[in-house]
Amino acid sequence: MFAYLFVSCSNPSNPSDTVITVNGTVYDAFNNPAPNLNVKINDTELRTDANGNFSLQNVKTPYDIYVDYLNISLPTGIKYESVFNDNPKISLFDYIAINNQNSQQNQISLPSLPAGQKYILIITNNSNIQIIRESTGNINFESNWIGNSEINCNLVAIIYDNTNKLFLKSFIKSYLLKNNTTQTNAYTDSDFNITLNNVLYSGNITLPTGASTNSIRGGVNFLSFNNLFQNIPFVNLTSGSSYTFYAPDNLPLNPKLFVMSNTDGSEVDVIYSTYISIASGTNITVPSNPKITVPASSGTLMGYNDFFTINEGSGVGIFSYNFSRSGQSITVYSRASSIKIPKFTNVSLNLNPGSEYTFWVHKYYGVENVNEMTRYSLLELRNLNGRGTSNPVNFNAQ
């Protein structure tokens, strides 16, 4: 699951290099307080209380806020950079604060690794439980989920060589998430019985000059060919630079781990997805912004909501749509996927030829029952003259 950030702040008047007390609140998709979520301000970690509040003294402006509601150790969650305000409000468009959140303490013992290597651990049931941890040895962590108090999952462990950028070995083990328990597991070298083949995916990705440093989010989603990504870290890129993606070809249970490498050979980050099929050696240019210009003449206009990201207050859903223009209208429909994604009704919108429009996608989750998550998505089309100048398009899960 992704978390996309909408921030509205009061008292935005603190200048840079001012020491303040930050008193903030995190809200879910329905503006309810979001309790017991991990919040990190710069390098200090804390949790929201029962009312979704958090507070930290002696913070120098500007500061960065991370909110990680899945307790993933990678910097996935959400991030609002360079905040000057002492009372930030953070709303999670795709999160619902539900009281029956389950929790388990995990204690995993792993063999020692040589310098330059690390473990990447994934707990997954290929559905709505996706947890990632990185470690160089033994690791203790908490896993949270919503739904059944017990869920049968799998633990996938991968050994990755940071120095040579190679995925080495892996194993897959049954793993039970059980509420209010502590699970202790010890593994040895003999457990790593899968040898991984390293494959170059996607060739080089070049960001155009002036592109947002967060454009890689859209770029990575594009490279997935419209499949679902569960966790994507925030990665800062240099405009105009090229990056290369590496992945193991035979990772168990279909998840893919990408290592993004700079042209000078330095590693940028590890990116994780599920169910992916990419033709290797493909050169792709990530667009610098999510604007679409409607042609003056009839024709076909194609686009993907993966690119419609990171504008003030905007979020992006995990579903992909084609935008096919015919005459004065644009048709929006969902693309087929092997993952359990609901189908949506086609919707047509009247657009002005030659005008630019931006698509915002806000996603939230509703719980249909304890076993099933029903996904909804709101697609909103706005003219560049201002926000909310056009009618939103609602997609209801069938």
Instruction: Indicate if 273 and 329 belong to the same structural domain.
Output: no
Residue where a domain terminates, one of 26, 57, 92: 92
Q: Which stretches of the chain are DSSP H helices?
A: 215-223
Instruction: Indicate if 185 and 109 belong to the same structural domain.
Output: yes
* Residue 62: cis peptide before it, omega within 30 degrees of 0: yes
Q: pLDDT value at position 77?
A: 52
Which residues lie closer than 8 Å to 76 by C-beta, 6 or more apart?
3, 68, 70, 132, 231, 232, 233, 234
Give the C-alpha separation, 244 to 80, whole Å.
27
Instruction: Indicate if 127 and 55 belong to the same structural domain.
Output: no
Q: pLDDT value at position 189?
A: 95
Give the C-alpha separation, 247 to 258, whole Å.
5
Give the C-alpha separation, 238 to 213, whole Å.
7
Instruction: Indicate if 162 and 116 belong to the same structural domain.
Output: yes
Instruction: Indicate if 222 and 313 belong to the same structural domain.
Output: no
Contact (CB, 8 A) for 247 and 169 = no
Domain CATH number, residue 175: 2.60.40
Question: Distance between alpha carbon 383 and the CA centroid of its chain, in Å?
Answer: 26
Give the C-alpha separation, 266 to 211, whole Å.
21
Residue where a domain terminates, one of 285, 311, 331: 285
Give the C-alpha separation, 356 to 366, whole Å.
33
Residue 77: domain span: 5-92
What are the pLDDT tens digits along the chain (398 aa)?
333 333 333 444 567 778 889 888 887 655 678 887 888 887 788 888 888 899 999 988 877 777 765 544 444 455 565 666 777 777 664 465 655 567 889 999 999 999 999 898 888 775 555 677 788 889 988 777 766 788 888 899 999 988 888 889 999 999 999 999 999 999 999 999 999 988 776 556 555 554 444 334 333 333 332 233 344 444 555 556 666 777 787 777 766 677 776 666 666 655 655 433 333 444 443 333 333 333 333 322 222 222 222 222 222 222 233 333 333 333 333 222 222 222 333 334 444 555 544 444 333 333 222 222 223 333 444 443 333 333 333 332 22
Give the C-alpha separation, 375 to 397, whole Å.
6
Q: pLDDT value at position 57?
A: 93
At 307, the amino acid letter reads F
Q: pLDDT value at position 172?
A: 92
Angle at 121 between CA 116 and CA 124, to 5 degrees: 160
Contact (CB, 8 A) for 321 and 334 = yes
State how many domains the chain has: 4
Instruction: Indicate if 184 and 203 belong to the same structural domain.
Output: no
Beta bridge partners, 310, equal none
Give the C-alpha separation, 206 to 161, whole Å.
25
Instruction: Indicate if 241 and 322 belong to the same structural domain.
Output: no
Instruction: Indicate if 54 and 113 belong to the same structural domain.
Output: no
The H or E element that residue 215 is part of is helix 215-223
At 389, the amino acid letter reads T
Q: Which residue matches tokens 């899945």?
A: 70
Residue where a domain terminates, one of 216, 251, 285: 285
Give the C-alpha separation, 25 to 46, whole Å.
12
Instruction: Indicate if 258 and 347 belong to the same structural domain.
Output: no
Q: pLDDT value at position 193?
A: 94
Instruction: Indicate if 187 and 107 belong to the same structural domain.
Output: yes
Give the C-alpha separation, 152 to 374, whole Å.
20
The H or E element that residue 219 is part of is helix 215-223
Kind of pairing between the strands at 87-92 and 19-27: parallel
Q: pLDDT value at position 190?
A: 96
Which residues lie closer than 8 Å to 338 by C-beta, 6 or more apart?
227, 275
Instruction: Indicate if 273 and 210 belong to the same structural domain.
Output: yes
Is pTM beyond 0.75 here? no
Domain CATH number, residue 238: 3.10.129
Q: pLDDT value at position 31?
A: 63
Instruction: Indicate if 214 and 251 belong to the same structural domain.
Output: yes
At 342, the amino acid letter reads P
Q: How many H helices and E strands in the chain? A: 1, 28
Q: pLDDT value at position 318?
A: 28
